[in-house]
Amino acid sequence: MEQTRLVVIGAGMAALRLLEELKSACPGRYAVTVCGAEPEPAYNRVLLSSLLAGEAADEDIRLKDRAWYGASGYRLFTGAAATGIDREAKRVRLGDGRLVPYDRLVIATGSEAIRLSLPGAHLPQALVFRDRLDAMRLRELAGPGRRAVVIGGGLLGLEAAYGLVKLGCETTVVHLADRLMDRQLDSKGAATLRRALEAKGVRFALSASSVRIAGETRVEGLDLASGETLPADMVVMAVGVRPNATLAKAAGIAVNRAIVVDDAMRSSDPDVFALGECAEHRGAVYGLVAPAYEQAKTLAAFLAGDETAAYPGSLLSTNLKVSGVSVFSAGAIEAEDGDETIVLSDPGHGHYRKLIVRDDRLKGAILVGEASDALWYLDLIASGAALGPMRDDLAFGRGFAVAA
């Protein structure tokens, strides 16, 4: 039987999970070609801050070596950015001029870091923190006695700051909002996280707006709207990412914030699919690994012939170690009228726990400093199960609440 030609644009974590799922669901059904813009196969982006800090080596973040792709029957092109999609001829154009024909196409191009349009952003020491090469550039600039300013107090900015502090840099995080990780944490949770990071050597300037990166030929500091200048030898812009949907839009595929897909991860072109950070499903664009993996499982099942396969969407949650501090957030982070709020706080140990209950069901949870029960709380939120007698001991974790 002649194989169907499947081309995957993007060779990151989402694409790799799709390949793994296809290998299990329908081995040999597709002749697969993977085209990745980066010079190496997929690696674990979650560990980039560890790579920056010197706590992990290249081999620690590698997910599969090149031999795995060949042994699995997949053709892998790296350093081969796609520059165009010809939907009529059904082929993908690569930067070196090669044309790759397809019967079905998957776009898994992820996101790109937002680079602020500040004066001075062109200077060589003004960087973003998104991929392995960014981490390597920062390591070259960092070291004892060096000064770094990180713009952005979200997850990526805090990870960059922690890595730079570990390398000996005097590091300040500048954040526009009045609290860290303001999309995932309430004010008390953010304050708990801030104290933990300050104890590790990170400094903060909150409610602060950046107006200019100072310096003529190299970075000398960051000017704030308040008139203050923070001296710096490097500035890291970690203010978020935008879905990389340029190829799809240029090809006439429906794009809103990202590539619009249905429950089968299919775009407006029935032979073109998208998954991961470049996909928009039911109005939601997910910037985390777990939803991308759920999407990959659905898409693999659909490509294997299961036309009932459907991605229902993901419950937004964050369950990570932010610069060595456990942080979990899921569901509501602020109570509404009629909600109950349960708070357990131990500032001395850097622990904070907030639970939001509505109609005897858990609607939201924030954990900072200790998050061993995070997945249990997530299951309670996702299932909508009645709390019943667990309610009184809910804040103390699964061991107490279930035993009760």
Domain 317-403 has CATH 3.30.390.30: yes
To the nearest whole percent, how much of the chain has pLDDT over 70? 99
Q: What is the pLDDT of residues 133-151, one digit of tens each?
A: 999 999 999 999 999 999 9
Both structure tokens of 134: 């960014």
pLDDT of residue 261: 98
Strands of 206-360, DSSP E: 210-214, 221-224, 229-231, 234-237, 241-243, 259-261, 272-274, 279-281, 317-322, 325-331, 340-346, 351-358
In three-state secondary structure terms, 281 is: strand
Is the confidence at residue 11, as pLDDT, over 70?
Answer: yes
Enumerate the domain spans of the chain: 4-112+241-303, 126-237, 317-403
Q: What is the pLDDT of residues 160-194, one digit of tens each?
A: 999 999 999 999 999 999 999 999 999 999 999 99
CATH superfamily of 126-237: FAD/NAD(P)-binding domain (3.50.50.60)
Q: 170: how many CB neighbours lie within 10 A of its CB?
A: 18
Is the confidence at residue 331, as pLDDT, over 80?
Answer: yes
Give 321's pLDDT tier (boundaries 50, 70, 90).
confident
Q: What is the pLDDT of residues 374-388, one digit of tens each?
A: 999 999 999 999 999
In three-state secondary structure terms, 43 is: strand
Q: Which alpha helices (DSSP H) does 80-154 contain, by range?
A: 132-141
What region, left, alpha or beta, does residue 343 occupy, with left being phi > 0 and alpha being psi -120 to 50 degrees? Answer: beta
Same fold, 126-237 and 317-403: no
Is the confidence at residue 404, as pLDDT, over 60?
Answer: no
Q: What is the pLDDT of residues 93-143, one digit of tens each?
A: 999 999 999 999 999 999 999 999 999 999 999 999 999 999 999 999 999
Q: What is the pLDDT of residues 359-379, one digit of tens each?
A: 999 999 999 999 999 999 999
Domain spanning 4-112+241-303: which CATH class is it, in words? alpha beta
DSSP codes, 297-324? HHHHHHHTT-TT--------EEEEEETT
pLDDT of residue 69: 97
